[in-house]
Each structure stands twice: as structure tokens, then as C-alpha cells.
Structure 1
Amino acid sequence: MKSSTRAVLGIALAAVVLIATALWLGRTDQDSGHTVLRLRIWDESFVPAYRASLDAFERANPDVRVRITVVPWASYPEKLRLDVAGGAAEDLFWTNLYEDYADAGRLLDIGALLGAGAVRAWDPSAVAQYTRGGRLWAVPQFVDGGTAVYYNRELLAAARVDPGELATLRWSPGADDTLRPLLRRLAAVAPWAYNAAHDFQSIDLPYLGSAGGRFQDGERYVFDDPQGVTAYTYLTRLVAEGLAPSAADTNTSRDFTKTAFLQGRMALFQSGTYNLAQIAQQAHFGWGVALMPRGPAGRVSTDNAIGVAGNATTRHPDAVRRVLAWLGSAEGNRYLGENGATIPAVVADQGVYREYWARKGIDVSPFFDVLDGPRIGSGGGPGFAAALKAIDPILGEMFLGRIPVPEALSRARDAAQQAAGRQ
């Protein structure tokens, strides 16, 4: 066979493979007579649960196929922003910072799509999070619960700390502080006692709230008030005293402290339910969950929800409506809680999550009990993602000890306000 003939055949074969691959991935709107929708998420670990749920949907709706795309969180917000602006976004996508899209008319109105009664099935805090201007802009999928403390039983035993002591801990700038003395005991048996670091949901917000402060007042950033100075001064002191890892490590890797805990090198790891499944799978030591420390204003946690939004430019609005109705139903949403990965947003399904961990011998009540008290808002509004991005490097320098806390918070507040205003 001549080389030119082989080349032509090779090109033809490559074309066939590319076409077949495109069809298999759902890159065309029609797939053997089916309407093909695309769903974008940022966590690959959710693919099996979503695939199982969507397979059940497709059996009941044989004219629709749903393909899942995973874009890692590190690039997700920016890529979604560009794709929505360029008309290349999927029909459905995960969102937690939705306000800019809603204000720009880029999202489907869920109430108009599914009916006003649909919200009765969903966690009220999740509904509140995705309501703006009197309209709901996403179908809640799962909630994080509150913040708690994972602890290493072996390290506590080595330091002669009873796990029951953790429930009584108090952090304070005054003489009634009991957290720092306990951390010093733990630091004698572990490289690090605690994960004090710039971690927005697990550390920043709970400390701000339990100091009596807030992150935002409406769309104004107010975390630099005296309560904010109290909270961040306490945290940065823990780092300076070696009770928590250096910010040189935690600034460059958001997973540094979780990895340290999983490796048995950290005694206490304050976080949420979003890390529970991984810790259960990968921690090769005895561990448990306790209430987070109480601050001057008590225990104040935040909670957060992830929702699925409908792209207002979709060419298949009826199919999108049916998928959203399924993902927001008790039957469709329960798949997200069956393996204990997350707490379903459908209230009727949340027992599935608790039952799963009860069978594993894990008491998850600290994540829920903390929400019986006051909560701090997790922030939002136009330009919120840009504001967080502007804050990060300044607070990173603060945790490194290079900028005094009051100055750093003031600068970060100004940077956040300016970044949000430019959006």
C-alpha cells in the first residue's frame, strides 16, 4: 500500500474515532434521537452518585441523556465565568457564587420553572442562600452542615487529653482561654496541634462569628472591625507559637492541614462534613468528632449549600426543567447521601446521611448541634468571588507575620470592596 493511501486511510480512521468520541461524550445536541444535556460540577468524587441518579432519571425519561463534565475547583469559577459570558457553558452547572449570573439574566428562574411549592422540600437555609430579588436561582443539592473538630484519639491519649475536654474548650484573648493551654499539651506529642490558618469556611468565618463579628453587612465588607481584629490576632498567634503549621505551607496548599491530619501529624483538625468521607477512608488511626471551641460570643458556625443552576441560554428548556425537578426531588437527591459523602438538601433525605454514619459508628451530631446556635453568613453578592481573590494574598501575608493584623484587615477590606465594585 502506498504511503499516500495509508495517510488517507489514517486520516479517515482518525475522523471516525473523533466523531465517535464526540458522540460518546455527548458533545452533540442529539444523540441517536435523544436530547443531550450537559451538567458541570467541580468534584469528581460526586460523579458516581450523580451518574446513578441520572441513570434512574433517564430510565424514566428515555428521550433525554445527561453528560457530566468535571472542572476542578481551582479553575472552576473563572472558567465558568468565561464560558457563561461566551455562551459555551453547560445546560446545568453547580454554583455557590451565583449572584452576578442572576443579576445578568444568565440563570433560569427556578420558581417559574418548577413552581413556588418546590421549595418546601428543601433545606430552608439553602433556599435562603439561593434566593435573590425574591426569586430562587438554583436547585439546592447538598448542604455542608456546621463546623466541628476532628481529633486523633492516639495523639490525645499520648498527651493525656480526654476527648470529653474538647467539648468545653474556649478561645479568648483573656485569662479564661482554655484552647491555647490544651494545644500546648498536644504540641508536645505531635508536630502540630491544630489547623489555625486562612481557611475561609472552616476557620475564618467561625472565629469571626464567635468573636461577635461579621464578614459582610449587606454588600459592605466589615471583617476589619474590633471583633475581627480579636479573632485574627488569636489565630495568627497560634501560628507564631508553632501550635499550627507555618503559613508558608498553608498559603500555598489549601489541603496541607488535612493531609497533615490524615498522616497522623496533627491532633485537631477543624473542618466540615465535606471532609468526613475522605477522613473515614484514609485515616489509619482512631478518630472522632467534637464540637468546635467556644469564643467570646459562643459557638458560631456557618453553613453552606451547593445548588444546580439552569443556563438561561439552553436550547432545551423543557429537558432542563425535568432534570432540575428530578435532582430536587426526594427520589433523585437521595443518591447524594447514600454513601455518606454529603448531606442532601432535600430535608426528607437527610436521615439517609445520618443513618449511614451511624452504621459506621461515627457520631456526626457536632456538625448539626452547632447550628442550633447563632450562625455567621458565608458572604455573597455581586463581585464576591473577585473580593475573595483580592483578600487572599493580604491575609496570607498577615498569617506569615509580615503585616500587623489591624493593618492587614483594613487593607484587605479596602481591596475586597474595590474588587467587588469593579464587577
Structure 2
Amino acid sequence: MKDSTRVVLGLALALVLLVTAALWLGRDTEGDGRTVVRLRVWDQSFVAAYRASLDEFQRANPDIEVRITLVPWASYAQKLRLDVAGGTADDLFWVSLYEDYADSGRLMDIGAALAEQAARAWDPFAVAQFSRDGKLWAVPQFVDGGTAVYYNRELLDASGVSPAELAALRWSPDPADDTFRQLLRRLRAPWPYNAANDFQSILLPYLGSAGGQLQRDGEFGFDSPEGRVAFDYLVRLIADGLAPSAADTNTSSDFAKTAFLQGKLALFQSGTFNLAQIAESAAFPWGVALIPAGPAGRISANNSIAVAGNAATAHPEAVRRVLAWLGGAAGNRYLALDGATIPAVVAEQQVYRDYWARQGVDVSPFFEVLRERQISAGGGSGFPAALEAIDPILDEMFLGRLPVDVALARAQAAGNAALDAR
């Protein structure tokens, strides 16, 4: 055989092997005929709960196998955008900001896929978050609840502060009415509190408690008298040494949490998404209290996460069945069994409360803060890009390099320009 013939045959064989391997790796059915459905998430801590839930589903639906894909949060959003655009996204995937996908026809219509009454079982806020143009675009999985304040009991005791005092605190631009700053000055800790450029845990609660809004009529509206009051208060806490330097918190979203767990931060304002880690890692007695009230009261956001169905899936019926399970009480309950999160099925939220009650933790502040009013966390087509444009400007504000009024005006203009570009 000639060398040239061997080369041609070798290339042909290699091509066959590559095609075969590609088909094997990309197969969507097992040898026994089961349909493989893939679910993409960004948090390793949820994999075990989902695996247990989906194992039960598979026992009742032996013709379907659900595999979990883990993509770390740091690269999740970018990879999902690329994969959806390239047609390689999983059949199901977690979403929080979903509008761009819905507007471009990339998501399954949940109302059409499931019975309309399915949404009646879910947290109303979550349903509203994932509803757009009269349609529901994802199946809610869990809600964060409201924002609360974790406190280090040892640091409070050393400062002569009772946890009961935290429930009555108020922040105000008027020093005569501001009891929160007075208490922070009493706390004997390297840092009393975690004022910072933290969108969900700090910025939204202060903006809402000042009476402001993040968006109005689809555009950003935080550059307002209320917004300037809220952000000026936060910036002054940092400038007065009552919170860590923005040079630290701007560059590490976990700086405040780490400081709290190290016993260096007396009050840590955050959400339920940090509860399990604090319970596991804190080497000191701690508790949870209500956030301080502002001029407009105590107001918090309540974000939620949902599972969206890929409109381009090759197995719409199998995906529909998995969505129905994950959105039902039996499937959703698993996310609360170990206290990891608050399930979106309202009837199962007591499972979460009961778990933490057995651990001696009162989680009621996360729920009580939502009873009156809530501030919307915003959304819309182009919203992720808008937040990326806003964030560095607010970083400069917290560093003290931009006056609050200048920073808010620039940030709002940059955010709205990003929205308009979409």
C-alpha cells in the first residue's frame, strides 16, 4: 500500500472515530432507551438535595434520567449566554435574570408547559419575578427571604448591648432620630457593621427604607432625594470607621462575611443564603435580628431563583415532566430538608422554619421584614449589562472618590444607557 493511501485511510478512520465519539458524548438516550435530561446549576451545595429529589423522580419515571451540570457562579452567566446562543445549553438551567432569554424566544412558556394553576402553589413574589408580558418563563425553586442582621453575641455582651436593642433601631439623616449610628459607636469591635456596595443586602434595603425605588417605568430611578439620603448615610458610616474600608469590600464580596466569622465584625447584614455557612463556621454564639428601620420603615428585597426550560431542547415532554416535579411540593421539599434554602412552594416553607428551629435559630426576621412592603430588585432586557455599568461608579462613591450626588447621577445615566442599548 502506498504511503499516500495509508494517509488517506488513516485520516478517514480518524474522522470516523471523532464523529463516533462526538455522537457518543452528545447522546441524549441511554442504551436502555431512557431519555437523558440535563439540569445546570451554579451552587455545589444544592447538588445533593437535587440529586435526592431527582432520584425519587426517576424511580417514578424510569424512562427519564436527569443529570446535574455544575457551572461555578463566577462563570455561570457568561457561559450560559454563550451556550444558549450556540445551541449547546442544558435542557434546564437556573436563572435569576432571565428577561433577555425570554425576549429572544429561548425559554419554554411555563404556562403552556404546565397547567396554569401550578403557579398558585408558588411564592407570589417569585411568580411575579419570572412573569413577563403576561407569561411565566421559569419554575420558581427557592426564595432568599428578606435581609436581616446577624449579630455576634460575644461582641454585643462585651459592649453592653442587648440583642433586644437591635429590634428597635432606626437609621435617619437626622442625628436626633438616628439610634443606629449611636449603637454602632458603642460596639467594641474592629468593625461594628458592614456598610458596603452590596446590591441585595445593603443597597436595596437602604434605598427602600428611605422611600426610594431602584426603577421607575422600566428605567433606573435611584438618583432621587431618597436615594441620596440612603447612600450618603452608608458612605458616612464607612468614612467614620463604623464599617470596613471600601478598598476591602469592593474587591471581595466575601470580605464582610469572613470578618464576621473571624469575630471582627459585630453586625453582619445579609440574607438566608449565608445562614448555613454561618451556622457551620461561627465559633461564637450568634443570632439574627431585624434590619434597622429607615425613614420609610423596614423594607427589603426578596430575590428568587428558578429553573427555566430550554426552548431548543430535543425532549420537550421529558423536560415538562421534570419541571412539573421540581415545581411540585414533593420535589421542591428536598431543597429545605437541611435548611439550605426557603422552597418556592409556599406549603413547604414550614419545613425550612422547622429545621432551623431544631437548630435553635429563629429565622423569623427574614420573613417579618417582608410583611409590609418590598422593594423590587429590578429587571428587564439588558439589566445585567446595566448593573455592570453601574457597579464601578458606585465603587468609586464608596471609596469617597466621588460625591454621592455626582456618583448617583452618573450611575443612573450609565445604567439607563445600557438598558437603551438593548
CA distance in 2, matches of 1:28, 1:391: 42
Deviates more, 1:26-35 or 1:149-158: 26-35
> What does the per-residue CA deviation read over 1:206-227, in whole Å, with 9 as the maximum and x for residues that have no partner?
0000001000013110011110
Find the counterpart in structure 1 of residue 287 from structure 2: 288
Supply the AA of the counterpart residue of 1:176.
D
1:79 has 2:51 as partner: no
Q: Secondary structure at the match of 2:354?
A: helix
Q: Secondary structure at the match of 1:30?
A: coil
Find the counterpart in structure 2 of residue 163 from structure 1: 163
Find the counterpart in structure 1 of residue 122 from structure 2: 122
Find the counterpart in structure 2 of residue 133 from structure 1: 133
Find the counterpart in structure 1 of residue 55 from structure 2: 55
Runs of 4+ in 1 over 6 A off after TM superposition: none
CA distance in 2, matches of 1:65, 1:335: 18
CA distance in 2, matches of 1:385, 1:74: 14
CA distance in 1, matches of 2:360, 2:339: 12
Supply the AA of the counterpart residue of 2:412.
R
Q: Secondary structure at the match of 1:173?
A: coil
- Superposed displacement of residue 19, structure 1: 6.2
Find the counterpart in structure 2 of residue 3 from structure 1: none
Find the counterpart in structure 2 of residue 256 from structure 1: 255
Find the counterpart in structure 1 of residue 421 from structure 2: 422
CA distance in 1, matches of 2:191, 2:327: 42
> What does the per-residue CA deviation read over 1:54-103, in whole Å, with 9 as the maximum and x for residues that have no partner?
11111111111111111122221122111111111110000011111111
Supply the AA of the counterpart residue of 2:310.
N
- Superposed displacement of residue 422, structure 1: 1.5
CA distance in 2, matches of 1:310, 1:118: 15
Find the counterpart in structure 1 of residue 340 from structure 2: 341
Supply the AA of the counterpart residue of 1:125.
F
CA distance in 2, matches of 1:68, 1:257: 31
Q: Secondary structure at the match of 2:223?
A: coil
CA distance in 2, matches of 1:134, 1:219: 16
Q: Secondary structure at the match of 1:368?
A: helix
Q: Secondary structure at the match of 2:251?
A: coil
> What does the per-residue CA deviation read over 1:8-34, in whole Å, with 9 as the maximum and x for residues that have no partner?
9xxx9xx99x969x97xx742122222
CA distance in 2, matches of 1:85, 1:287: 46
Distance of aligned partners of 1:45 and 1:184 in 2 relative to their CA distance in 1, 3 Å threshold: same
Report matched runs for 1:21-420 at 5 Å.
27-32=26-31, 33-174=33-174, 175-186=176-187, 189-420=188-419
CA distance in 2, matches of 1:351, 1:224: 39
| TM-score of the superposed pair, with normalisation by structure 1 | 0.93
Q: Secondary structure at the match of 2:338?
A: coil
Q: Secondary structure at the match of 1:154?
A: helix
Aligned length: 406
CA distance in 1, matches of 2:218, 2:41: 27
CA distance in 2, matches of 1:104, 1:237: 43
CA distance in 2, matches of 1:326, 1:374: 31
Supply the AA of the counterpart residue of 2:46.
F
Deviates more, 1:27-36 or 1:410-419: 27-36
Q: Secondary structure at the match of 1:371?
A: coil
Structure 2 portions without partners, runs of 5+ = 1-9
Supply the AA of the counterpart residue of 1:126.
A
CA distance in 2, matches of 1:82, 1:411: 30
Find the counterpart in structure 1 of residue 7 from structure 2: none
> What does the per-residue CA deviation read over 1:323-346, in whole Å, with 9 as the maximum and x for residues that have no partner?
000000100000000000000000
Supply the AA of the counterpart residue of 1:289.
V
Supply the AA of the counterpart residue of 1:39.
L
> What does the per-residue CA deviation read over 1:381-414, in whole Å, with 9 as the maximum and x for residues that have no partner?
0100001111110000100000000000000001
Supply the AA of the counterpart residue of 1:295.
G
CA distance in 1, matches of 2:50, 2:236: 43
CA distance in 2, matches of 1:323, 1:387: 33
CA distance in 1, matches of 2:26, 2:278: 36
CA distance in 1, matches of 2:73, 2:230: 28
Distance of aligned partners of 1:169 and 1:277 in 2 relative to their CA distance in 1, 3 Å threshold: same
Q: Secondary structure at the match of 2:370?
A: helix
CA distance in 2, matches of 1:19, 1:179: 63
Q: Secondary structure at the match of 2:350?
A: helix
Q: Secondary structure at the match of 1:36?
A: strand
CA distance in 2, matches of 1:358, 1:37: 36
CA distance in 2, matches of 1:152, 1:214: 31
Supply the AA of the counterpart residue of 1:86.
G
CA distance in 1, matches of 2:273, 2:38: 24
Q: Secondary structure at the match of 1:31?
A: coil
Find the counterpart in structure 2 of residue 4 from structure 1: none
CA distance in 2, matches of 1:75, 1:231: 32
Supply the AA of the counterpart residue of 2:125.
S
> What does the per-residue CA deviation read over 1:356-394, in whole Å, with 9 as the maximum and x for residues that have no partner?
001111101011111111110010001000011111100
- Superposed displacement of residue 229, structure 1: 0.5
CA distance in 2, matches of 1:404, 1:115: 52
| TM-score of the superposed pair, with normalisation by structure 2 | 0.94
Supply the AA of the counterpart residue of 1:349.
E
Supply the AA of the counterpart residue of 1:47.
V
